[in-house]
Amino acid sequence: MKWVFLLYRLPRDPSTPRIALWRNLRRLGVVQLADGLVALPLDARTKEQLEWLADDVIDAGGEASIWVAEAGSAAQERALAARLAEAVAAEYRTVRTAALAASALGVSARRRTLRRLRRDLRGIRARDYFPPPEAAEARRAVEALAEAMEATA
């Protein structure tokens, strides 16, 4: 498989473009390979999104370039995929814990939590390139919360 890399250098000041970039990279779920080098599995969407961020960096007075790469070995590729999977797995675990804890809440707080957790799940799925087992577990916990609400309604 192929990977898309964003290589960038952004001035330390002002901090606003750095924060915006950091937030966008987090939303896309990139894996950080080194300072100023992030990667995602290559597809039309990931390449396009990183290209826009490269332009943002350039607009903010920095330097950025986009590269398409192949891992030098299968082990290296597995390690990269594992890092991506582990990052979303941690997010799924947070959602699952919150869903389980919500069963102790009152009805309206539970409804609010359900809405928020479903939205969180959508966001995580958008950056989940190698779904870990935690994905299904989190989804089950959130849907169990929904079913419990229907039963009490």
Partner 1 sequence: MKWATRSGVHVDRAACAWLIRRSIDPEAEFVFVDDPAEVPRDATAFDMRGAELGHHGGDCSFETILRRYDLDDPALWDVARIVHEADLADERFDAPEAPGLDVICRGLSMVLDDPQVLVVAGDLFEGLYEHRRRALLLGREPA
Q: Site residues (CB under 8 A) for partner 1? A: 20, 23-24, 27, 44-45, 48, 51-52, 54-56, 59, 122-123, 126
Distance CA 101, CA 24 (A): 30
Determine contact, residues 48/55, Cβ cutoff 8 Å: no
- Residue 59: CB minimum distance to partner 1, A: 7
- Residue 126: CB minimum distance to partner 1, A: 6
Q: Which is nearer to partner 1, 26 or 140 (CB)?
A: 26
- Residue 51: CB minimum distance to partner 1, A: 5
Q: Which is nearer to partner 1, 56 or 137 (CB)?
A: 56
Q: Which is nearer to partner 1, 80 or 91 (CB)?
A: 91
∠ CA(124), CA(130), CA(133), 5° rounding? 80
Nearest to 47 by CA among 34, 31, 32, 66: 66
Number of other residues whose CB lies within 10 A of the CB of residue 117? 22
Q: Which is nearer to partner 1, 9 or 27 (CB)?
A: 27
- Residue 36: CB minimum distance to partner 1, A: 19
- Residue 26: CB minimum distance to partner 1, A: 11
Q: Which is nearer to partner 1, 12 or 122 (CB)?
A: 122
Distance CA 143, CA 47 (A): 33
Distance CA 124, CA 131 (A): 10
- Between β-strands 31-34 and 37-41, what pairing exists: parallel, antiparallel or unpaired? antiparallel
